[in-house]
């Protein structure tokens, strides 16, 4: 029941009420350090918990602890998409390191980044009649004839970033594929934005829609960002990776002109976009430490770590544990030689920042070397 009692309001009271209404209605992109109220408190709490776990560098080994002892006398050929790709090269080093522990001979053949080069490299690998072949960072469907030859010769194939999902693959036929889950990488990248901004941000997403894997990742990033009502997707920049070096600076300049200080965060499907964005951000007198605060949803190559550690236009990355994945490849081959199923292990996502990388230029979790040595009895 409403009361008809009259209340006398002083001028001071009216001013105070007006001020409170104005403050209560204010909302805009935040860097996460101001008093802005979260636009999605429940989602924010979950995001902060997930990010805290992903930034932990002291997590114990959660991979396999049992398996067959290492067999001897094996030869592995690592066919690299291109050894100029830091991810591909990092895994190759891990395979070589682990191969020395098992006493295997590991050879790397560089596909040099072209379809013809990759086909020639895989053809050479099959001709060598090795114990196993690694599909290092390229789509095996592009080398279907060579893959068929390997299968006919009963040479097991293990992929690294060869197909979309981790684990065994029937078509193309791979004993297993080593990669983090794209769904997890996309989600934690978006969660980092939600958590660091306290649920209020203006976001730009950089992607390459010509690559189905990349397009899927960026769509997943957008979906997770959309769970927080305080985040606004300012722009979705489709820049093919081969064109990134000359297109990204132009697009970044345009974005700065359009959105100015409303642009506070960025997520890219690959760290390289921020290397290319840096000159334009620097020319606009943007601070290297942000805003915009930038996170790469994958890779974690040394140049990304250098930008992060020096606070030069990249704040975080979700890196692959390249050396550990190289050791896993050797372990998976050993399981295949013993007639066992693949381990099924998928490395958990990690977020690297200047605060937790300790100046490192790669993500190298602890415990895996000791665990695999114990499994192999070496």
Lowest mean pLDDT among 9-18, 38-47, 236-245, 322-331: 9-18
DSSP assignment of 203-264 = EEEEE-TTSHHHHHHHHHHHHHHTT-TTEEEEEEEE--GGGHHHHHHHHHHHHHHHHGGG--
Q: CA torsion, points 314, 248, 281, 290, in degrees to nearest 10?
A: -30
Specify the pTM.
Answer: 0.85
Mean pLDDT across the chain, nearest whole number?
Answer: 90
Beta-carbon contacts of 100 under 8 Å, excluding residues fewer than 6 positions away, are 106
User: Where does the pLDDT of residue 85 fall: very low under 50, low under 70, confident under 90, or very high at 90 and above?
Assistant: confident
User: Where does the pLDDT of residue 30 fall: very low under 50, low under 70, confident under 90, or very high at 90 and above?
Assistant: very low
Q: Does residue 20 have a pLDDT over 80? A: no
Average the pLDDT over 148-169 and give the result.
96
């Amino acid at each position: 029941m409403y009361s008809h009692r009259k209340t006398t309001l002083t001028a001071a009271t009216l001013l105070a009420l007006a001020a409170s209404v104005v403050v209560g209605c204010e909302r805009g992109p935040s860097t996460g350090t101001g008093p802005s109220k979260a636009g999605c408190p429940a989602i924010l709490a979950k995001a902060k918990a997930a990010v805290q776990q992903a930034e932990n560098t002291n997590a114990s080994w959660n991979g396999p602890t049992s398996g067959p002892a290492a067999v001897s006398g094996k030869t592995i050929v690592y066919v690299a998409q291109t050894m100029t790709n830091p991810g591909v090269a990092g895994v190759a080093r891990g395979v070589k390191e682990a191969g020395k522990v098992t006493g295997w001979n590991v050879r790397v053949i560089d596909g040099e980044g072209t379809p013809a080069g990759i086909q020639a490299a895989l053809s050479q690998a099959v001709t060598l009649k090795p114990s196993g072949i690694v599909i290092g960072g390229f789509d095996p469907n592009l080398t279907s004839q060579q893959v068929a030859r390997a299968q006919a010769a009963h040479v097991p194939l293990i992929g690294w970033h060869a197909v979309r999902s981790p684990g065994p693959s029937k078509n193309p036929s791979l004993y297993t594929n080593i990669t983090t889950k794209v769904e997890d990488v996309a989600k934690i990248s978006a969660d980092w934005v939600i958590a660091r901004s306290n649920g209020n941000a203006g976001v730009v997403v950089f992607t390459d829609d010509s690559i189905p894997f990349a397009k899927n990742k960026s769509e997943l990033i957008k979906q997770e960002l959309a769970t927080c009502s305080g985040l606004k997707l300012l722009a979705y920049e489709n820049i093919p990776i081969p064109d990134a070096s000359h297109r990204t600076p132009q697009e970044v300049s345009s974005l700065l002109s359009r959105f100015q200080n409303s642009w506070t965060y960025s997520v890219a499907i690959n760290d390289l976009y921020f290397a290319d964005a840096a000159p334009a951000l620097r020319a606009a007198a943007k601070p290297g430490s942000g805003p915009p605060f930038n996170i790469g949803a994958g890779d974690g190559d040394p140049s990304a770590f250098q930008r992060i550690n020096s606070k030069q236009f990249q704040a975080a990355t979700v890196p692959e544990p390249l050396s550990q994945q190289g050791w896993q490849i050797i372990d998976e081959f050993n399981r295949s030689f013993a007639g066992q199923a693949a381990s099924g292990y998928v490395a958990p996502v990690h977020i690297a920042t200047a605060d937790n990388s300790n100046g490192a230029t790669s993500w190298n979790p602890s415990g895996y070397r000791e665990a695999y040595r114990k499994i192999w009895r070496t």
